[in-house]
Chains A and B, each alone.
Chain A
């Protein structure tokens, strides 16, 4: 049986192997997806993001458990940072999801960022697509612990859950302008700790500033380890989904995301093409040397590269 047939027939090994191909930039992954593209778009994609230690993995595990109790099937992609020095990574998100490992309705994949910025890995979108084709009802993407600008998740997820926790204090102020804007639903985890109400007020105040938006992100207080507030959070995610569907926002979001993905795919390929290209009498490295030795300025070099591609 081909990988494509095995994927459609529910073979977990085929799914896992295709994800490896996607991560290693092996064209086999996209070749299989090309043949099954009409099967994509059925899954609902939920992004789980927030600062390190907020409880993203634990929360993802509990949300998964609750959806499993409703008979839904789940795919989870958990992204952790790759060391920029060695290329190695410790992928430890699974530690908080142990009771899901042997559930045949749950597929978990850990990924290193492998040098990609933005909070996800380059293969995340392809992995989501594979889980979608595989037939998962819901797909969770857990980002790396985010700081200020890891906002790639909005390009991939239908609903973004921003996980916060009490006691970050002024850190909330610091991240306000960046990632705070991308939450569709807020979860204040560890809400049994002091300061949960204050955190809620701070988020509310931030949201007041965006009052003109059609959707005001709701805030859920949860204690993920105790399974407290999980159903409430799921309801809020569901109401965001309902809003996206009834307002037509889901279609326009997917349109926008598809466009962004297409543009970045093409620009990746153009870059690859340029970096490989030496048959037309120049290499990027040659130009770089000329720039550094002040033989040419960097802007002219960029023009040069573009004009030669057009030839």
Chain B
């Protein structure tokens, strides 16, 4: 447990459903990661400031409100602005298949839709963080 992976689990947008975020946070913890959880209704500014202060390797966002097309790319571009584009950004939640290519184009590394086993997300992170 020398260098645990540090992950920010964030809930951007206005929906109040964080069950999924909590389940994933717990799964990440059980996989030996340090999970920073910040609570509901985070603005992109709050998420980016937290990611930088906590020096995380992964920003994992969960969204159920439908605002993913706006909020995910916003976080990616703000991280880039701050010189933190080495962080791996992933997203989860209720996200239509049609939206996924554009999100990946915008710099979100992977999107996990409902029904994805948590082990898959964990494996993806372990294989794709920049170390």
**Chain B associates with chain A:** yes
Cβ of B46 and Cβ of A101 under 8 Å apart? yes
Interface-located stretch among B36-44, B90-98, B100-108: B36-44
Closest residue of B by beta carbon distance from A11: B83
* Residues of B with C-beta under 8 A to A107: 53
A-side interface mostly:
mixed
B31 interface hit (Cβ, 8 Å): yes
B10 CB, min distance to chain A CBs, angstroms: 10
Closest residue of B by beta carbon distance from A24: B3
Cβ of A109 and Cβ of B29 under 8 Å apart? no
Please measure, in the bound complex, the distance between the C-alpha atom of A65 and the C-alpha atom of B114, giving whole angstroms: 39
Cβ of A13 and Cβ of B84 under 8 Å apart? yes
* Residues of A with C-beta under 8 A to B54: 16, 108-110
B16 interface hit (Cβ, 8 Å): no
Looking at B26, B31, B38, B53, which has the most chain A CB atoms within 10 Å of its CB? B53
Q: How many A-B residue pairs have CB under 8 A?
A: 89
Cβ of B46 and Cβ of A102 under 8 Å apart? yes
One digit per residue, 1 when the CB lies within 8 angstroms of any chain A CB and 0 when it does not, for chain B 20-54 equals: 00000110111111111111001101100110111
* Residues of B with C-beta under 8 A to A108: 50, 53-54
* Residues of A with C-beta under 8 A to B4: 87-89, 112, 114
* Residues of B with C-beta under 8 A to A89: 4, 29, 34-35
- B: contact size bracket: 20 to 34
- B-contacting residues, A92-112, CB 8 Å: 92, 94-95, 98, 101-102, 107-110, 112
B-side interface mostly:
mixed
Please measure, in the bound complex, the distance between the C-alpha atom of A20 and the C-alpha atom of B131, giving whole angstroms: 13
- B-contacting residues, A61-97, CB 8 Å: 82-83, 86-92, 94-95
* Residues of B with C-beta under 8 A to A92: 36-37
Please measure, in the bound complex, the distance between the C-alpha atom of A83 and the C-alpha atom of B43, giving whole angstroms: 30
* Residues of B with C-beta under 8 A to A88: 4, 28-35
B130 interface hit (Cβ, 8 Å): no
Tell me whether A86 and B84 are in contact in the complex, defined as CB-CB below 8 angstroms, given that A20-B55, A94-B38, A102-B46 are known contacts.
Answer: no
Closest residue of B by beta carbon distance from A83: B29
Other than the given A87-B1, A88-B34, A98-B38, 7 more pairs (CB < 8 A) read A12-B53, A25-B2, A86-B30, A86-B31, A88-B35, A91-B35, A91-B37
Name 6 A/B residue pairs within 8 A (Cβ), A-sorted. Answer: A13-B83, A82-B34, A101-B38, A101-B42, A102-B45, A110-B34
